[in-house]
Amino acid sequence: MQLKLFRHLWGMQGGIDVLFRQIKAAGYIGVEAGLPPPPQREQFAAELKVHNLEFIGMIFSEGNDVAGHIASFETQLQEIKAFQPAKVTAHSGRDEFDLNQARAFVQAALKIEKQIGVTVGHETHRGRIFFNPWITRDLLAEFTDLKLTCDFSHWCVVAERMTWDRKCPIGLYADRCIHLHSRVGYEQGPQVPDPAAPEYAAHLAISEGWWEQIWKSQQARGVRESTLTPEFGPPGYLHTLPYTNVPVADLVSVCDGMAERELRRFNEMFSRSG
């Protein structure tokens, strides 16, 4: 099994041509992002091709009700299909949906995914349907075709503990994971300032244990290419100093450092397993 590293554009500055050149030079295989505004989409597609970068599209459903979110999901997925994505990460629905509304969205989204023919992972993201382990567990049990983009950093702050997995074993989610966001969360926030800092060593170790279980599950499922985005974000995800708003860490270094670390760990892990 191979690990492919993708880079998000969140927090990066510059034109698409410059950003894609930087991403390629840093060793990433592709880009994970939502589509830019329509006037920029032709250049976006051209630069992906020029730099030989793969694409994971992102959907952000919106609307005043379930029907609106379903329609938004379908429109965005259809637009992304034209860019030949490897897969899609979806921010799906709203956390305020009750269970029946969440079911209705998921049922429709799975039908749309099949019709359009693009693989979708629904992200475990705050503010969305899959904002906590418990509703995610229940929906996975009901919808066997439901797939996830796993970003457990959100659940750390929603649950206010790193031990949420004692009631919901990580294997429940690992077996449906098609893409991983390797951000380290903690009990009071979705992003530690710098995962290399010793004061966050325990949080990093717990997170890496979750990611390893995803990789083992993928290997057991016969997945040939695992994908990962080191999705650390800019301020206000990244802590800043009071009064100055100066970031306490360098975002590019944090992202690239995490990508390099997890690639190294992945290769060591699977070289040992033969």
Instruction: Encode pLDDT of 253-262 as tens digits.
Output: 999 999 999 9
Mean pLDDT value across residues 179-190:
98
Mean pLDDT of 78-104: 98
High-pLDDT (> 70) share of the chain, %:
99
Does residue 236 have a cis peptide bond before it, meaning omega lies within 30 degrees of 0? yes
**What's the alpha-carbon Rg for the chain, to the nearest Å?**
18
E strand intervals along the chain = 2-8, 30-34, 54-60, 87-91, 120-123, 148-150, 177-181, 225-229
Q: Which CATH superfamily is domain 2-272 in?
A: Divalent-metal-dependent TIM barrel enzymes (3.20.20.150)
pLDDT-derived band at 51 (thresholds 50, 70, 90) equals very high
- The answer to whether 173 touches 206, Cβ cutoff 8 Å, is no
Mean pLDDT computed over 40-65: 97
Task: Check if the beta carbon of residue 157 is closer than 8 Å to that of residue 126.
Answer: yes
Q: Where are the domains of the chain?
A: 2-272
Distances (CA, A) of 14 to 9, 10, 92, 108, 184: 10, 11, 29, 37, 26
Percent of the chain with pLDDT over 90: 98
Question: Bigger pLDDT: 209 or 273?
Answer: 209
- Residue 234: pLDDT over 70: yes
The first and second tokens of residue 117, run together, are 């023919």
Q: What pLDDT, on the 0 to 100 scale, is given for residue 177?
A: 98
Over range 87-97, report the average pLDDT.
98
Which element (helix H / strand E) includes 215?
helix 201-220
- pLDDT, residue 67, reads 98
Sequence-distant (≥ 6) Cβ neighbours of residue 39 within 8 angstroms: none
- Place 269 in a pLDDT band, splitting at 50, 70 and 90: very high
Cβ-based burial of 194 (10 A; exposed 0-12, middle 13-18, buried ≥19): buried
d(CA 101, CA 48): 37
- Tell me: pLDDT of 274 over 60: no
Q: Is the pLDDT of residue 273 over 60?
A: no
Q: Note the pLDDT of residue 271.
A: 82
pLDDT tens-digit map of 127-172 = 999 999 999 999 999 999 999 999 999 999 999 999 999 999 999 9
3-state secondary structure 145-163: CCCEEECCHHHHHHHCCCC
Helices (H), strands (E): how many in the chain?
A: 9, 8
Average pLDDT of the chain is 97
Residues 6+ apart with CB under 8 A from 123: 89, 90, 91, 92, 130, 148, 149, 150, 151, 181
Cβ atoms of 234 and 251 within 8 Å: the answer is yes
Q: Extract long-range pairs of 252-256: CB within 8 Å, 24+ residues apart.
A: 252/12, 254/194, 254/195, 254/196, 254/230, 255/7, 255/8, 255/230, 255/231, 256/26, 256/230
Answer for the pair 150, 124: CB distance below 8 angstroms, yes or no.
yes
| Three-class DSSP category at 172 | helix
pLDDT at 272: 62
